[in-house]
Amino acid sequence: MGLFDKKYCDICGGKIGLLGNRKLDDGNLCKECSKNLSPFFNERRHSTVNDIKDQLDYREANKAEVSNFHPTKTLGAGSMKILLDEDAGKFIVTSSRRWQDANPDVMDFSQVTGCETEIDENKNEIKRKTTDGKEVSYTPPRYKYSYDFFVKIYVNSPWFDEIKFRVNSSSDIERKGSVEYREAEKIASEIRSALTKVRQTVRDDIAAANAPKIAQNCPLCGATTIPDENGCCEFCGGALNV
């Protein structure tokens, strides 16, 4: 097939415009179908048509998860926010104010495998103009610095393994130790601490649930019993002190 031959989306079957093709490993993807993929997914060119179909099925099912998501805590001060549903043990990361319409990926706390802060230092040389209008370096050279704080969340997901976003709303942090620098550092630390804590809580709960039960004497019927899943006697159903 030639460069300008008509192409069709292998997902929806629609015709793809001249600049609308998103190349897959074994086919083509239109930009409209591409919009429905996770915003954190970046392996499109190495994905097959079946991979994309599977992800779009997941994204469709995710809409029900969004409908049942009820945030109890919000983290972050920039455009990107982390919303926690602590009662359900789930979270989303989104930049949309109308997040219910954006279909953000709903993930379990247990899917978090790590979280870290990255600080990018941007360095631009300041130059002066000579009498003939040329820009030359100062001696010694002078530089203007700016800093961006990023949080990187590592997750266990079939579609992506990390979520990275900037904490500060704009590149207005010009000095280490400034009020803006310390504020961004604080926000990043709060996000990292919160996700680490909820992940550990989930793991502790799983470990406790899988721990072997110890036989006890029921205070009601006197039988030696192993507590059931509700912490009750297997014979009379009475509550045990566990």
Q: Rounded mean pLDDT of 158-172? A: 88
Express the helix, strand and coil content of the chain in percent, nearest 5 each. 25, 30, 40
How does residue 1 score in pLDDT terms, banded at 50, 70 and 90? Answer: very low
Q: What are the φ/ψ torsions at residue 172 (nearest 5 degrees)?
A: -110, 10
Radius of gyration of the chain (CA): 27
The pLDDT value given to residue 77: 80
The pLDDT value given to residue 220: 86
Cα 79 to Cα 94, 161, 226, distances in angstroms: 8, 22, 52
Residue 2 predicted with pLDDT over 60 = no
Which is higher by pLDDT, 209 or 3?
209
pTM passes above 0.85: no
Which residue, among 199, 155, 148, has the nearest Cα to 38 in the 3D structure?
A: 155
pLDDT tens digits, 73-129: 999 887 899 999 999 999 999 999 899 999 999 999 999 999 999 999 999 999 999
Dist. CA 149–CA 169, nearest whole Å: 10
Query: Of how many residues is the chain composed?
Result: 242
Mean of pLDDT over the chain: 89
pLDDT tens digits, 203-240: 666 666 676 777 888 888 888 888 887 788 888 888 88
pLDDT tens digits, 53-83: 999 999 999 999 999 999 999 998 878 999 9
